[in-house]
Structures are given as C-alpha cells and as structure tokens.
Structure 1
Amino acid sequence: MLGSALYLLAPARGLSELVGYQARSLARAPSAEQLDLQLKRVASGAQAPIVPLFGTLLAPGLAVAPTRLPKVAVLARLESAASAAELSAAGYPPRAQVGRVAALALSPNELSSVAKVPGVLRLQPQLQHRLHLDVNTARNHAVEARVNSGVTGAGVLIGVIDTGIDWRHGDFRHADGSTRIRAVWDQVDDSFANSGGAVGSLPPVDDGAGAPLGTVYTAAQINAALAGAGTVNSRDLVGHGTHAAGCAASNGLAPGGYIGVAPAAEILMVRAGGEAAEDFNLVGDVLAGLQWLGEQADQSGQPLVVSMSFGHHFGAHDGTDAEEVAIDDFTSRSGRAVAVSAGNERAAAIHTSGSALGSRALQLAVTSESNDFLAVDCWLAGDDVVDLGFFDPDGLGFSDADVTPGECVQVENRTNRVSTCVDTVNPLNGSREVLFLAEPRDHGGTITTGTWQIVLRDEGGVSDGRYHCWSVNYQPFTADVDSTATVAMPATARGALAVGAASLRASWPSAGNPNTQIDSPVIDDIAFFSSSGPTRDGRFKPDLVTGGNWVLSAWSEGDGSGSAMAGIPRDERRVSADGTHVASRGTSFSAPQVAGAVALMLEANSQLAAGEIGDRLRTSASSDAFTGTVPNPLWGYGKLDVAAAVAKAALACVADCDGDGEVTVNELVTGVLIALGDAGIAACPRADRDDDGLVTIDELTAGVLAALHGCRA
C-alpha cells in the first residue's frame, strides 16, 4: 500500500514474495518533489535504468555530457520564462531555453540544489527520440491552393529538425543553382571546432561541456561549396530529413519534377541525428534547435513553421511534459506553428489500458532483437493505491510490492536487474507514475527473452483504478492491447499540429517498372500504422491526416542504402525512375506536408496565430466514408485540404477576433478595451497586430478600416 515516507529503495520490506532474486540497497533519496523518479534515483547514487534512452552512458544508462565530472542531461519546467534568470543567478545557466522550459547539464550532486531554485517546478531527464519511419500534393489539394490563391510559401521559413539535408539536391536549389536553404545547424558535425573556426560558423550553444555543439552553415557558405570554393561537411546519412524537407518544400527542379507543398519557402535545417535512424539527439538539443529556428525567424522578421517527425512514449501523454510545454510556448506568438508526426504505433501493441480494480496481469514479449532493456511507463490517478508484481519469463521476480511513493524496489539475479518505481503525485497533472524497468545486470549484457509479466492490483483508492501503460522500448503487449492513445509525445502538446497518415499513393515509377507497387494499401483510407488518439486527458489527436503511406520525395546522396528509412535491405523498387527520389512511408512524411500547408497559409496571412492556424486547418479538413463522422480519435478532424485552409487563412485580419473574415462593432470595442487596459490580449489576440502585447492607435485604426472596407490579409 502506498505510504508517505520518501525513500529511493527499501527492498527488504514490502515484498511478500521474492523468487529467484536478491534485494539491492541504495541511499535515501533527496526529498525534493521537483525531481521526477529517475532523477531522484540518480541523485541518490543509483545506476540509472533504460540504457539506450538516455544517450551517452554512465555505468550504465545515464545521459551525460563528456566532462571529467559526468553531467546529467536535464529539462527544467519553470514557473515562467523569466525564471531562467534565477537559474543563472544560482550558477546554473541554461544551455537552451524555449519559454518555460530550460535544458541543463548537471552533475548528480547538483540535482537537489537546482530543484530548490525559485521558479523551478519540475526536473526531468532528457529522452532520446525515435524517428517516425515507416501524388500526395494533388490529393491534398496543394496544387489547387497554389493555382487558386497564387501562394507558394514565398517569404515564409520552414524549419525542419531531423537527420539533416542533402544540400546539393536539385529540389533545394534555385533555377540558377544557388541554394534555397537559409542555414543548416548540424549538431553532429564538429567541423567548426576541428578546423579552428575555418569551416562553417559558430553554433548557438555548447554541448554541455563547453565545446561548440556542431557547426552552422549559412546560405553563403553553402553556395560557396556548391561553386567548389568552400567546404560544407554536413550530410544526411539516413535520408529521413532530406525526404521530410522535400515533402514540405521541394521545388521540383531535380529530375522527376516532384514538387512539395510550399515550393518557394526558405528552408532551415537542424540536423539532430547521427549516422543511423536510431542515433537521434536528446530532447535538450532538439529544444536548442527550436530556439535557434525562432531566433532566425526573428532576425529576418519572417513567419516560421517547424516540422518535427519523431517522438517517444515515456511520459503522461497529457500535455504537461516539459517538451510539450516548450512547444506550447514556442507557438504562443503570431506567425509561428509546429507540425509533429503523430507516430506509427497503432498496430505495434505498445499501449494497454484498463482498470486495476481487483488485479490485472500485463504481459510483454521480449525477443533477441529487443532484449537490451524493458521499460513500461504507467500512469494512474493520483489517489489510486496499488500493489505491484514483476516477473521475468522464468517466473522469477517479486509480487505484492508495497512501494512507498518516491521509492524504487530493485532486485537482481544473475541476468536481470529489475526495478519498480512509484512516484509521488505529479504536481503538474495530479497523476501518479509507475515505472517497471528491466535491464541487464552486467553492462553490455541482455535481459531474459520470453514473456515478462507485470501485475497491478488496486487496493481501493478513491478513483476507479484506471491505468494507461506504454512499452517504452516497443516490446509488444501480448494481451489487453489498446491501439488508442498511441499518438506519441510531443505530438500530444496542445500547441502542436499532430498529423496522422493516410494512403494516398499505391504505386510509382521506378527504374525497372513504371508502375511499381510493394503492397496494396486502400487508397484514401487510414494507414495501418498511423497512431490513434485521444491523449490521456481526452483531447482529439491527431489534429488531421494526410498522405504518409508511400510518399515520393528527395533522396539524400548520403543515404546509400536507398531504404535506410525503413530499416530494410536496399530495395531498388523504392528508388524513383529519375534516381533522385525515393518512396517511403510513415507519419514522418505527413507532418512536413502540413508544415508546407501552414507556410502557404502564412504567406496569405503572416499574422495568423498558432491557434488560428490550427482552427483553420481543422475546420477546413474534409471527411468522407473512410473518415466517418469527425472529429474522432483516428482521423482527428479529417483529411488535410490545403486549398480550403489557405482560403480561410486569407480571410482573417487585424481586429477580427473570431477569424470569420469580418470585423464587427463588438470586436472593435474589444480592441478599445484592451488598449485601455480593461481587457487582456487573450480577449482578441488579433487586435495586437505586431504581437508586442499592446493595442495601439494605429492598430485600432486598422481595425476600423477593416470593418469599413472589408477584411484583407
């Protein structure tokens, strides 16, 4: 039964049965409630679990910066953006910051001190994302939008955080051969440091140990390299980022003529991944990339939409995680939006839910291909009381664990180290997290293969015992599988445009066959892999769906396999007849199409707020016999209709509070009340045209003119 004392580990008590394992002891955990379970464990001197999830290893499994004193990669959820000054004053300046979220690199003995800094609400470890791998522009009406409205994305920045971009590819060059890429920040390429500053430019942040984090390449430096007079060492060795950028913004000048949704948009690329699809940077570096993209847009005064095609399933899936909040804050300004892939896990059996009243046994299959670690992250109501059991395939483990909140029970045998952790009530969402972790006892080893079993038994809490559990390392549940609530974080953020995948293409011309087909998707239906909502707190996600089951887009010269994105051997069928494009699938390639659509909308109306962008995309989305009645958890609000969304975007203007294309007397009065201080900006964000937090005489006048003469972009 859950008690009140706070320990990290108390294995000698609270286990009614311990079979084949020995208990391990650790120091008492710090009492700071601002530390999540993992960081409490680290602060006490424990080994951190989940080896691959936290990147660089520290005996084993702790994400560290490469310094003599290992440092933990941490995200700080702050009371306000201004709270970062408190961190700096206390001697812990953030490496990067997006709104109320800061990225830090801390030694284990600094965690408790930072947790006590005023304005720090919560500290959590940084996670490592997974890429969402596996005639769309015609079927989503992008061509119609460009013809009818004359928009091409000109003057708009599309930022892509991914595995890099093939900057030589013809789809990302102007007709004169010069680059369409504004800049690339390659967080993996150390050319700037290694060359003493002779190659590339200084990146905006360090790596947590004082060294530059990668290299920035400007458009001028890329053009010099294209002309043979300079050096750009950035590569996309996976091909994922190049493909995604092409979906959003290809201009079709490479052979084949495949045009993305916004062919005249400028491109910013943050390469946050390494030499393989699974080698992706930690969340803090991704947030640093998001911050840099925003700064680039601010410097040029251009609207910006960001595409992110990755995610994970470690967290509450309810919008309260630090990364989700960072996206909310990033999109709080007009002229900004973030499109995020919903994930490809609907058929992957990685989620289960139910009620633990009485007892519930959960089973997962661990194979020789997935035996590096097992992690199951469960969330329950904060007032639920549960006993826990955890057994390996040999039936060894423990049952009836009486785990005190904030405590981890940990046992081990010759092969496995098994932990069960129960958090105190999370102050950000009122819920309770329970983690089940199995890792090799010896560094570099493996856990036992076969069927693992988790037991949840509710002991009569106030709530109904409802739980949601996600398999973090994608080992499948073998019973009670729930394909809903599989939209990955951070697509669950309130400020994110979460995008699912439909099947809009079944075949394409390859070198050997003008009508190549690998499988037989039902055209216009949802893709079998496209993750389903809702979020754990009941919101509809994805927001909408567009093509993602076989999409042809730019093929990176560095992706030598031609199929690395799907993790399968080279398959010539996937390479287009022109040899410069490749077919792939996944919500990874749906999200950048929505980013391209947003770029067209922002060209039509650069002052649209993120909420207005989302509203117009959702209300303009189409439905049919496949979608059924919308909104629903699988399709969100329906299928992307770019032309309809752009038409709606062009209607809104200053003082048009409800975005219906007309400015009424009541809306003008609201603007006056804001100007006088009798109402907040939230009453009508569009009254504040320049987004400076004030409504001026000029803005009131513009509203009156719009009321008299009609609403124009």
Structure 2
Amino acid sequence: MDSQKLENLLNLALNASMQEREKSLDLDVGYDAETNVWELIVKYNGDLARLNNPIIGVEELIAGYAIVTIPQSLIQSLVELEEIEYVEMPKRLFFHLQQGKEASCILPVTVREPYLTGRDTLVAVIDSGIDYERMDFRRADGSSRIAYLWDQALQPDESRGFYPPEGFLTGVEFNNMQINEALAESSPEERFRMLPSIDTSGHGTSVAAIAAGNGLSSDGRYVGVAPESELIIVKLGVPQQLSFPRTTELMRALTYVVQKSVELAKPISINLSFGNTYGAHDGTSLIERFMDNVSEIGRSVICVGSGNEGAAGGHTAGIVSGETRVELAVAPYERALNVQLWKEYADIFRITLISPGGEQQIVETARTGTIRLRMEQTEVLIYIGEPSPYSINQEIYFDFLPQQTYINSGVWTFMLQPVKIVTGNFYFYLPSSVVLNSATRFYSPTPEITFTIPSTSQKVITVGAYSSIYDAYADFSGRGILLENSLEAGVASGWVKPDIVAPGVDISISNGMGGTQFVTGTSFATPFVTGSAALMMEWGIVRGNDPYLYGEKVKAYLRRGARPLRGEAIYPNPRVGYGALCLSQSLPL
C-alpha cells in the first residue's frame, strides 16, 4: 500500500516482503513478526478512544500525538479515518558513547553564594536505567533521592504489585517509598526481588551521576552538578534482545516525566543522551515536533546531545550544477546498509547507481513509490518519496540488502545529473556509525549538519562536546549550521545548532566501587547542561528570583553566558554554537 498519510519509510516497509524487512536495518523497527502487529506514531485530531479495543491499542500522549498498536491488515483502515493526520514508524535510538565542573564555571555558584544545589527541582534522566543502590543518589540518611523509576523493559505483574504508570500499558513504575523499602533489605537477592531494575550498560547511571550525583571528590566537593535535586528515571524499553530503544519509548517517557513535574509542582530538567541519523534534520519529523510541544508543558528544559557523528563520514552534501558523483565506500562484511538522499522537491535529478563491479542502473524518479533493483549480489530496495505536510523536502531512500550473507563491498557510486534545478542542494546520510563498520563511509564527507535527531528539535537545548584539557572543539561532536547560511545551504529552518558545548572528553566519574572511570562523548557533555539548567531554575523559580526562568529563557541565558573556546573566532558557529557552558556568567547575579 502507499498513502500520503504514511511517511516514506513506513510505506516502503509495508511494501517490502517479510524477508526484506528481516535483512534491513530499519524496515522492521516497530514490527512484531510473531503477531503481525505494528507499533506506530500517530498525529491526530479529535478523539481516538473509540479505537481502543482488544485488537487495537491506543496510548494518547499530549498535543494530539498517540502511539497505536495495530495489526498490519488494519493500517489501511486506520489511515482512512478523518482523525488521523499523519503516521510514522518508530526509529531506533543510539547512545552517544565516545574535569568538567571547573571548566563550566559551575563551582562559583555552588561552593559560594548563592550556594545552588538543585534543591526542590527535578532532574529526569531518560536512558538505560540507573544503579539505584549507589550512594550518589541517596540523601545523608541513606534514603533515595529517586522520586520515581519507570523501567519500561519490565513486565507488569499484578501478583507482585508491579504496575505500569497510570495511562500507560508497558513497564513497571516504582515510587520513592518502594525504592526505599528495597534499599532497606540487607540481602542483594531480596532487593532485586523487590525492585528488579538494572542498568546493564551503566550509561544512564553515569549520565545521572554527572547531572545530579552527590558523591564527593577527594577535596570534599560534590561531583554531580545538582546534588540535591530529586531524580525521575526512565529506563527505555528494549523491544528485542540485542536491539536498541525506539522513539516510541522516548515519546512515552517524555510524556511521563513532564506529567510528573506538573503533578509534583516542581520545575524539571530533562536529559536525553541518544539519537539517530534518520530524517531531513530540519525539525519536521513527528518526534522533533512532538518534543517542541512537550517543551511547552509545565516549567521544563530539555537538553539533548548533538551526537558523535561529526567525524564518522556518514554524511555528505553538495550542489548539483552538472554531473555530480557521490562515492560511498562499503567495507567487507556489511550485512545491511541504507542511504538517505534528501533534496528540495522543486529540484529534479537523474540518478544512476553504479555498483562496485561497474554495473549501472538508472533510478526512475519521475514517479513516487517502490523500486527494486538487483545489482551483483545485492538487492537495492528504493522508495521515491513525496514531501510531507510538514516539510518541503523530498526523500529518496536506498536500502541495500544481501542476496546471501553480505552486500557487495567496494565503491558504490550515486551519479546525479540535473534535469530541473532551482537550488540543487542535496544531503546524503548513512545509519548511525554505531551499527556500521568504521570503514563504511563517504569518500568526501561533510561534517556540517551531522547532529543526530532529536537534537534537531527547535526548542530543546542542543549540546555538543569539547575537550576541557585543550579547551577546543571535539571533532566527533555533531555539527550544525549557521543561521545566516541556512538559506544558502537549503535548510528551511533557521536556528543555530548546537546551542552550546560542554566538556565531553575523558570525563572522570565514579565507577560505584570506590574508583573512577573516564568517559567520552556528547552523552556525557549533555548532563553538565542538564544539571546547570536545574541550578538555574532553583535560583529563578524555587528561590523566587525569576519565576519565568525555564524553557527558551534558560537557553537564552546559557547562550549569553557561554565563553569562547580556542580556535573559534566567530560565534555562533556550527561546531560550538555560542561557545562553552559557563554557568556563573549565565545567571544575572
């Protein structure tokens, strides 16, 4: 089936065979092959309650968004409903893995007047979970500072008192009383029986320790930025073994934490240290627009890492004026690969795909829909898309699938020839470098516009990384684009990304066993800003200095107080935005 109410990738997935979906990196995300059921993101108007039945599940979120679980055979009927405006499939999310308080000017406002600690604020960490037993997340009396912990990966069990949060269908929610009851048990086995939530990767625990840990360094100072804030933790659900969380889990989590903030009547700073590369990077996808809506609920700030794709070679861009060749090196043993080509719909290119062995196939772009090509030992599944109601951009999506075990390695060439050119701008993206061989990359990569989604949402604070040792930009950090260059570069949205950068190279944190470990990546730059936002809201809202210090106002203050970095002459710029986090200069003390 093909419908303009469905995003291009979902149209292609529904047109693909079961075998093609299984081989693809993206076409099976949100699909359960055993039940033939999809989990979909829906933008709607009116009321979807009438759809809720034993066959179709509806979780209404906020601002006209919902997650619908529906058999594939009923999707056609779903999109025919007048209430349904647009539907997308979920996308996988990848954590951004690759001494900061002093460099970020946090100590001047925490160790002396006004002695900010994050008291009566909330810090939400939506990640891989938390080691709730760690002393970093407890008060002096040993009780937990975690107000709520929602583990989306656990199964509800009424006999054990395990229930999902009100209004949600998945996972198990634990409140502060339940967490303290588990901590009171002397036996690790009994604690686990009462609260079986584990951070198996340690990623979420590390992020939480930077943003809000209250462990002490050797000189007696707190290691975390907002050590007296309360925590709301969401462990993102992982739908399948060896898989990654999805954007649907993120949308549930964001709805949950902002609702808790309103319920508790406390300002909240939310940390997201993950993303993906799928999309036009212009803020127009449902997840990006959803996050802009979430940011307007209550008194909140959302901080998102810009990703680690800056030097990964997974993006290239240019202008088609004559024949243009884009070469992609595919390493041996790649089981699957996809390539997104984004361009303005007004431009028309003739595309010729050339395989490593020299075989050439013309990709007919005059009509939208699915195309299948067989080139050497690789099947190429192509979808020629149309603009969505929210974007002027057109996507041409290439999914490379092996006929046997691996796709053909070597140089794949996309030859672009102008037919009708207005701007001629084009943008190619590969999947996240986390799932590819490091040698799979474009021969002439473009480092600009390499931030990951959802850091592209307009109203979030997008955080890049720099090295506090060299006081210089870290080249892995996802880059954005300058406001004054946005039209020239063909980007319709005119905002600067990233907003600021924070320390993200060799950050020393506790390992929970009396030692330290070093972590690198925008994952760990982001919580410096998250914790700083909590301190700013404590100063403004909790202490009554500025009851409107949340949302875009926090971003504006952080931009204004940012300090310059070595090697950066013009601000804002695509690498570091307005500069490096400097909290003491961002507060109007």
TM-score when normalising by structure 2: 0.88
CA separation in 2, counterparts of 1:499 and 1:36? 28
Q: How far did residue 331 of structure 1 move?
A: 0.7
Q: Deviations over 1:364-419 (max 9, x none)?
A: 222246x12111111111111122222332333x4222234431211236732212
User: Could you tell me which residue of structure 2 aligns to residue 614 of structure 1?
Assistant: 555
Aligned positions of 1:578-657 closer than 5 A: 578-579=514-515, 581-606=516-541, 607-647=548-588
CA separation in 2, counterparts of 1:148 and 1:52? 56
Q: How far did residue 247 of structure 1 move?
A: 0.9
CA contact (8 A) 1:237 1:274 kept: no
Q: How far did residue 278 of structure 1 move?
A: 6.8
CA contact (8 A) 1:34 1:121 kept: yes
Matched, 1:243 2:206: yes
User: Could you tell me which residue of structure 1 aligns to residue 121 of structure 2?
Assistant: 156
Corresponding residue to 2:176 among 186, 204, 219: 219
In structure 2, the CA distance between the partners of 1:609 and 1:599, relative to structure 1 (3 Å rule), is: closer
CA contact (8 A) 1:405 1:424 kept: no
CA separation in 2, counterparts of 1:365 and 1:98? 43
Corresponding residue to 2:381 among 403, 419, 422: 419
What amino acid sits opposite 1:220 in the alignment? M
Matched, 1:547 2:503: yes
Corresponding residue to 1:375 among 329, 338, 363: 338
Corresponding residue to 1:464 among 398, 423, 439: 423
Q: How far did residue 139 of structure 1 move?
A: 1.4
User: Could you tell me which residue of structure 2 aligns to residue 118 of structure 1?
Assistant: 82
Corresponding residue to 1:297 among 248, 261, 266: 261
Q: How far did residue 473 of structure 1 move?
A: 4.4
CA separation in 2, counterparts of 1:401 and 1:66? 30
In structure 2, the CA distance between the partners of 1:85 and 1:388, relative to structure 1 (3 Å rule), is: farther
In structure 2, the CA distance between the partners of 1:554 and 1:218, relative to structure 1 (3 Å rule), is: farther
CA contact (8 A) 1:243 1:556 kept: no
Corresponding residue to 2:150 among 148, 173, 185: 185
User: Could you tell me which residue of structure 2 aligns to residue 407 of structure 1?
Assistant: 369
CA contact (8 A) 1:239 1:556 kept: no
What amino acid sits opposite 2:348 in the alignment? V
Aligned residue for 2:281, secondary structure, equals coil
Aligned residue for 2:472, secondary structure, equals coil
CA contact (8 A) 2:303 2:526 kept: yes
Aligned positions of 1:467-616 closer than 5 A: 467-474=426-433, 476-505=440-469, 523-534=470-481, 536=491, 537-555=493-511, 578-579=514-515, 581-606=516-541, 607-616=548-557
Q: How far did residue 302 of structure 1 move?
A: 1.0
CA separation in 1, counterparts of 2:30 and 2:240? 19
Corresponding residue to 1:363 among 311, 327, 330: 327
In structure 2, the CA distance between the partners of 1:257 and 1:148, relative to structure 1 (3 Å rule), is: closer
What amino acid sits opposite 1:234 in the alignment? S
What amino acid sits opposite 1:280 in the alignment? F
Aligned residue for 1:647, secondary structure, equals coil
What amino acid sits opposite 1:590 in the alignment? A
User: Could you tell me which residue of structure 1 aligns to residue 137 of structure 2?
Assistant: 172
Q: How far did residue 100 of structure 1 move?
A: 3.7
Q: Deviations over 1:216-235 (max 9, x none)?
A: 22221211111116521111
In structure 2, the CA distance between the partners of 1:75 and 1:401, relative to structure 1 (3 Å rule), is: same
CA contact (8 A) 2:148 2:176 kept: yes
What RMSD over aligned residues (CA atoms) do the two structures have, in Å? 2.7
Q: Deviations over 1:519-572 (max 9, x none)?
A: xxxx21011211110284342100000101111224367xxxxxxxxxxxxxxx
CA contact (8 A) 1:186 1:234 kept: yes
What amino acid sits opposite 1:587 in the alignment? T
In structure 2, the CA distance between the partners of 1:368 and 1:326, relative to structure 1 (3 Å rule), is: same
In structure 2, the CA distance between the partners of 1:224 and 1:485, relative to structure 1 (3 Å rule), is: same
In structure 2, the CA distance between the partners of 1:423 and 1:452, relative to structure 1 (3 Å rule), is: same
CA separation in 1, counterparts of 2:271 and 2:328? 33
Aligned positions of 1:289-328 closer than 5 A: 289-328=253-292
Matched, 1:34 2:5: yes
TM-score when normalising by structure 1: 0.74
